């Protein structure tokens, strides 16, 4: 079903390597694939396989050595640092493994952060933040600081922050990696709901086969080489 949709992400001949001293270590080798709009893709693989690197390249927070990434019709591999920052603020919602909330800001303020880069008025920002927090079920925790929330709640705030700008793609790097089983299930259900109900394209890196089960497509990375889609 997903394959019939037009691709929102087109990756062609993508390679990336790191330098350690005089040694060059290839991480991704000549990767090409498409991600249709509205797809839920899980990237799996052992540690060091390059899945987080691929996710970072897709989110525009790292740069490839060669190849191209076309997202929503925009070629991000040739963008300048400044253009890439602006593009990220508009098109990417990033969910981190360790939530990465700012501890001195309340849930409301954390979710509001990406909106400070927009031209929205204070009232409009407030409306967006309240909606996002309602979607993740934390409308009653707006004034709480991260330290006053459980891990699952913190991750939900992080998801609200990723959602609040209505991005083109949601990228999640081990979103349940720091959570207990129950909280992890809640977070996966929430991401699944965002994919099904809101039609968000989700790209998720995970080690957890149970998390990957939620995805439409699972791709494995091994030593920088991407396997064919499964499921």
Rule CB under 8 A: say whether 48 interacts with another protein: no
* x-marked contacts with another protein along 165-194 as a string, rule CB under 8 A: -------------x----------------
Rule CB under 8 A: say whether 141 interacts with another protein: no
Question: Can you read off the two tokens belonging to residue 112?
Answer: 């509001």
3-state secondary structure 63-120: CCCEEEEEECCEECCCCCHHHHHHHHHHHEEEECCCCCCCCCCCHHHHHHHHHHHCCC
Q: How far is the CB of 228 from another protein (least distance, A)?
A: 27
Rule CB under 8 A: say whether 97 interacts with another protein: yes
Q: How far is the CB of 206 from another protein (least distance, A)?
A: 16
144: helix, strand or coil: coil
Sole binder of another protein in the list 24, 78, 98, 210 (CB under 8 A): 98
Separation between Cα atoms, residue 153 and residue 49, nearest integer Å: 30
Please provide the DSSP assignment of 114-139 as one string. GGGGS---HHHHHHHHHHHHHHTT-G
Q: How far is the CB of 37 from another protein (least distance, A)?
A: 22
Subset of 105-124 contacting another protein (CB under 8 A): 105, 108-109, 112-114, 116-117
218: helix, strand or coil: strand
Site size toward another protein (CB under 8 A) is 30
Rule CB under 8 A: say whether 148 interacts with another protein: no
57: helix, strand or coil: helix
The residue ranges that bind another protein (CB under 8 A) are: 53, 56, 59, 61-62, 81-82, 85-86, 88-90, 94, 96-98, 100, 102-105, 108-109, 112-114, 116-117, 161, 178
């Amino acid at each position: 079903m997903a394959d019939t949709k037009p691709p929102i992400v087109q990756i062609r001949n993508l390679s990336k390597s790191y330098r350690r001293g005089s040694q060059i270590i290839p991480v991704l080798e000549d990767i090409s694939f498409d991600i249709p709009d509205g797809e839920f893709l899980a990237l799996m693989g052992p540690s060091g396989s390059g899945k987080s690197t691929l996710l970072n390249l897709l989110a525009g927070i790292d740069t490839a050595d060669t190849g191209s990434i076309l997202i929503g019709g925009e070629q991000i591999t040739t963008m300048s640092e400044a253009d890439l920052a602006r593009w990220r603020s508009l098109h990417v919602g990033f969910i981190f493994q360790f939530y990465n909330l700012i501890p001195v800001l309340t849930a409301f303020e954390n979710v509001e952060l990406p909106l400070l880069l927009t031209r929205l008025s204070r009232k409009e920002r407030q409306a967006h933040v309240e909606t996002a927090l309602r979607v993740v079920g934390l409308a009653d925790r707006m004034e709480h600081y991260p330290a006053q929330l459980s891990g699952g709640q913190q991750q939900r705030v992080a998801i609200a922050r990723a959602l609040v700008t209505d991005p083109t793609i949601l990228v999640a790097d081990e979103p349940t990696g720091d959570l207990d089983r129950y909280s992890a299930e809640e977070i996966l259900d929430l991401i699944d709901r965002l994919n099904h109900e809101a039609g968000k394209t989700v790209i998720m890196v995970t080690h957890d086969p149970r998390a990957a089960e939620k995805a439409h497509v699972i791709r494995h990375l091994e030593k920088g080489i991407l396997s064919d889609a499964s499921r």
